[in-house]
Amino acid sequence: MRNPIIVALDVPSAAQAVELARSVAPHVGAFKVGKELFVAAGPEIVRQLRATGASVFLDLKFHDIPNTVAKAVASATRLDVQMLTIHCSGGSEMMRAAEQSAQITAKELGRPAPLVLGVTVLTSMDHAALAELGGETDVAKQVERLARSAAGAGLRGLVCSPLELPMLRKILPAEMQLVTPGIRTGAEKADDQKRTLSPQDAIAAGASWLVVGRPITAAPDPAKAAEAIAASLR
Ligand code: C5P
C-alpha cells in the first residue's frame, strides 16, 4: 500500500521547507505546500520538491469565478502537483470547471490529472459563523450538502475533518478520496485542533490520506516522528 502520510510544510521559507522535506522524505507519501510557504517561496519550491521525486499537494484553496479557477488549476497542473484544493462554496459550475481544467491540461501534457480536492466547511467555522453568512447554519448538514454537490460536479476527492469521515463515507461513492487533517498521535498536545483522531483511527474511519503538520514538524526529531507514524499504519 502507498504511504498515506502527507506532511504539511508549514514553514516561512524555501530553505526550511527543503530541509524538513529531506529529513522526513523516506517515511512519508507527499508534501503539502500551503499559503504561508507558497506566498513566500513561489512556484519554485514546488519545482524543487518535485525534482526530488516527491508528490506535492498544493493547498491554495481556490475560490473565484469558474474561468479564473480553471486557469489557476491549469497552472497548478503544469507545475506538476499531484493534489490541489478548491472551495466547494464556489459552486458546482466552478468545481466542474476546475475538474475539467485538470483533466484537459494533464491530457495535453500526457500525465495523470492531479486530484482536485473540495474543501466543504472550514473547520474554524461553527454554527454562529454559518449563521452570519445567512444560509444553512447546521455545520454537519452544510458539509453534507457541499460534499454531495462536489461529487455531482465530478470532483474525485474532498478534504474533511476526521469526525466527518463516517458520515461522508456513508453518502459518497466509494472511490471518493478523503484527505484528513486534525491528526494527533497522543504524544503531542492538540495545539489549536479541536477535533482530532489518531492516524490508525482516521484510516479505519475511511481516510485515504492524512495531513500531518506539527506532530511531525514540531517534534524534537521530525524523521523519527514520521517513521513512528508510518510504522503505526503497517
Ligand atoms: O499542524 P497540524 O497537524 O494541525 O497541521 C494541519 C495542516 O492541515 C495545516 O496545514 C492546516 O492548515 C491544514 N488544515 C487543517 N484543518 C483543516 C484544513 C486544513 O488543519 N480543516
Q: Which amino acid is at 85?
A: T
The pLDDT tens digits for 184-213 are 998 776 677 777 999 999 999 999 999 999
User: What's the CA-to-centroid distance between 213 and ligand 1, angstroms?
Assistant: 7
Supply the range of the domain harboring residue 166.
5-232
| Protein residue whose Cα sits closest to atom 13 of ligand 1 | 181
pLDDT value for 1: 62
Pocket residues: Cβ below 6 A from ligand 1: 8, 10, 34, 123, 159, 161, 181-182, 191, 193, 211-215
The H or E element containing residue 36 is helix 35-41
CA dist list (Å): 116 to 69, 100, 105, 130, 159: 11, 10, 13, 24, 10
Residue 172 pLDDT level (bands cut at 50, 70, 90): very high
Does the pLDDT at position 183 exceed 90? yes
pLDDT, averaged across the chain: 96
Angle of the 92-109 helix axis to the 139-152 helix axis, nearest 10: 40
- Rounded CA separation 207/65 (Å): 30
pTM confidence score: 0.96
Q: Which CATH number belongs to the domain containing residue 77 in this structure?
A: 3.20.20.70
**Cα-Cα-Cα-Cα dihedral sign, residues 197, 200, 204, 207:** positive
Q: Could you give the number of structural domains in the chain? A: 1
- Rounded CA separation 160/12 (Å): 25
The pLDDT tens digits for 1-23 are 689 999 999 999 999 999 999 99
| DSSP per-residue codes, 142-173 | HHHHHHHHHHHTT--EEE--GGGHHHHHHHS-
**Cα-Cα-Cα-Cα dihedral sign, residues 7, 209, 211, 13:** positive
pLDDT value for 2: 86
CB 73 within 8 A of CB 62: yes
User: What's the CA-to-centroid distance between 107 and ligand 1, angstroms?
Assistant: 31
What residues contact residue 5 under an 8 Å CB cut-off, 6+ apart?
27, 28, 29, 30, 199, 209, 210, 212, 226, 229, 230, 233
